[in-house]
Amino acid sequence: MVPRPIIIDCDPGVDDAVMLMMALASPALDVRAITTVAGNVPLNLTSRNARMMCQIMDRTDIPVFAGCPRPILREPVTAEHFHGDSGIAGLDPFEPDAPLAAGHAVQHLIDTLRAARPGQYTIVVTGPLTNIATAIIMAPDIARGIDRLVIMGGADTEGGNITPFAEFNIFADPHAAAIVFDSAIPCTVLSLDVTHQVRAEPERLTLLRALPGPRAAIMVQLLEAANVLEARWKEGRMTPMHDPATIAWLLAPGLFESHQATVSVDTAPGDRFGQTRVALSEPGPHEWVTMADADGFFALIERLVNNT
């Protein structure tokens, strides 16, 4: 089996860190680059944290490019209350050995996708969509090199997590999200509607903690820290596996159910600012994921980190 070429655009972020551990542990994925964006914490920290995870996973061969330091239009928002001031709650931050790759993430996306074969790359997006939208505006022709965008973002029936209607990644840059969803590039969207079905429940962490090897222990540290922060804000609920859902979908799509749809974003000022609107449509440019098999999801994670 030829590993699938992917580029990961993220804002680590505790759940981004868990997602990166899964992606970098999988022989089925060929992570060609990581691009970072301002989101959960400022860009300097998301960029450091991404490089930390590459070092922890012994993958310092993967270039990490820093991208946009702020949203396209709205004032910046961050989420330290869910990720810690470091953005990597649960781990002791350190300065990674490998420096940032030279050049802006958006330019790297454009150069890579222009040189790609048609549909060669899958782009995983787990932060605000600022980098992706900027690349599309600067070079619309890059769509040719993209198989699909696999995006963690949005909410429909579940309601929002940063306002009653908006999910953080979309709320943090709704204009960027609108550009991406309007671009006609195929998107698979894993929203709160599905990520809230898969949470780091104590019994699941007990099974992970029992696995041999340092990586399972590191993942448990991250998830336990995320649970402490989540419980402070969300009535004692355990942390949802938001960003890890993108990699789980890529590796085991049979664990999920989805519907064709057309997704749009409310960018008008007001209480619906950043809300995703989902019109189920056959056919539609977007795949809206609605269900996940949580047991299968965690069994996949256990396989990825077992004895590593």
Axis-axis angle for helices 14-25, 43-56 (nearest 10): 30
Using rule CB under 6 A, residue 78 touches ligand RIB: no
Q: Which does 297 bind (CB under 5 to 8 A by kind): Ca ion, ligand RIB, none?
A: none
Residue 160 found at the interface with Ca ion (CB under 5 A):
no
Q: Which is nearer to ligand RIB, 145 or 297 (CB)?
A: 297
Asked if 51 is part of the footprint of ligand RIB (rule: CB under 6 A), the reply reads no
Position 152 contacts ligand RIB (CB under 6 A): yes
Q: Of these residues, 83, 242, 259, 286, which one is catalytic?
A: 242
- CA separation for the pair 48, 69 (Å, rounded): 13
Q: What is residue 68's DSSP assignment?
A: -
What does the block give as tokens for 172? Answer: 């943090």
168 touches which of Ca ion, ligand RIB, none (CB within 5 to 8 A by kind)?
A: ligand RIB
Is 81 catalytic? The answer is no
> Could you tell me which residues come within 8 angstroms of residue 129 by beta carbon, excluding any fewer than 6 positions away?
151, 153, 169, 170, 173, 176, 177, 179, 180
CA distances from 28 to 1, 243, 279 (A): 8, 18, 33
Task: Find out whether 80 and 41 touch, Cβ atoms under 8 Å.
Answer: yes
Q: Is 169 in the site for ligand RIB (CB under 6 A)?
A: yes
Q: Does residue 167 touch Ca ion according to CB under 5 A?
A: no
Is residue 174 part of the contact set for ligand RIB (CB under 6 A)? no
CB of 72 within 8 A of CB of 138?
no
**Site membership for ligand RIB, residue 145 (CB under 6 A):** no
In the bound state with ligand RIB, the residue whose beta carbon lies nearer, of 80 and 306, is 80
- Give Cβ neighbours of residue 221 (< 8 Å, ≥ 6 apart): 90, 91
Name which position in 126, 131, 191, 227 contacts Ca ion (CB under 5 A). 126
Instruction: Return residues touching ligand RIB (CB under 6 A).
Output: 11, 13, 15-16, 39-40, 79, 126-127, 152, 161, 167-169, 242-243
Active site residues: 242
